[in-house]
Amino acid sequence: MQAKKIVLTGTANPRSRTNPEAKLAWKSKDFSYTFFQEYTQITFKVGADITLSKGLYWIDWAKVETGQTSTTNATTHYHHPVRTLVEVVGKVANKYAFTTQSLGSNAIKGTSTPALAISTTNSPFADVQISFGLSAGDNANITFTPASLTFGPNDLTKHYTINVSSDYDISSAAQQIVTFTRSGTDAEVYAMPSSMTFNIGEPATDTTAGLITSWGQGTCTASSCSFAPVVSQVGMIYWAITARQQGANDYTNGQCSSIDTISDNSWDGLSDIDAAE
């Protein structure tokens, strides 16, 4: 790309079938409508308020181009997109669905489960709230953190945990079923998971620490590195990445932080990743 940077700005065209005002929105979460030299394309998505009338609408575009530092280069090199045509159709009940992650092991009395993901492939325009319950009815010894989740325009995945009190009577029911109830502005557009069944177990008498038998590390690149650890028992893994030192001690491994420091600064499994980074 000839320019250093191009930033696009969209506005709702008032000459559309009906002036959409704030009922038509578009988002470019990953790119913020910004082209840099390494990009040949960026993406954005369009959403419509559930009360917006069906019809055709236009998005007008403007741009701000930052040129290269040069006395010979032209100030601008690119034309902005002229318009984007958007067709809004009627609301479709259960058009999209939320799915929940299953618990791969027992929920242990006196503990909380690992964070369980609940996700969708397309975020709501306004909001959808999901509340948790038990098919057998409320139980004072089983709670959820948080008690409900609210998905907004940029939310595809959130997490929750199941908390089982040490006072839970496992003899009355060693298995429970989680139910999901929807509410919110766009709730009718989304189907809920039918249910999620989990088993409850007593605490282990063997308190020996588990082992990481393999880190399953993949090939690292300049910008990413993946691993899939294999463990001997269910548990929580805390980890940190440290860089090699530079200067007089080149190639000397950096010192790893203490487990307390790592756990205090680690992702809690529930809050948004962006807030924890």
First to last CA, the chain: 31
Angle at 148 between CA 144 and CA 152, to 5 degrees: 145
CA distance 230 to 211: 9
Where are the alpha helices (H) located in the chain, listed in sequence order? 259-265, 273-276
Instruction: Give the residue-averaged pLDDT of 147-151.
Output: 95
Exposed e or buried b per residue across 221-243, where buried means at least 16 C-beta atoms within 10 angstroms of its C-beta:
eeeeeeeeeeeeeeeeeeeeeee
Domain spans of the chain, in order of start = 5-88, 96-201, 206-277
CA distance 27 to 8: 12
Q: Give me the sign of the Cα torsion angle 33, 90, 151, 114.
A: negative
Query: Would you call 66 helix, strand, or coil by DSSP?
Result: strand
- The whole-number pLDDT of residue 275 equals 39
At residue 120, does pLDDT exceed 80? yes
At residue 250, does pLDDT exceed 60? no
Please provide the DSSP assignment of 31-51 as one string: TTTEEETT-S----EEEE-TT
CA distance 122 to 45: 10
CATH level 2 (architecture), domain 96-201: Sandwich (2.60)
At residue 157, does pLDDT exceed 90? yes
Choice among 85-89, 147-151, 238-242 with the minimum mean pLDDT: 238-242
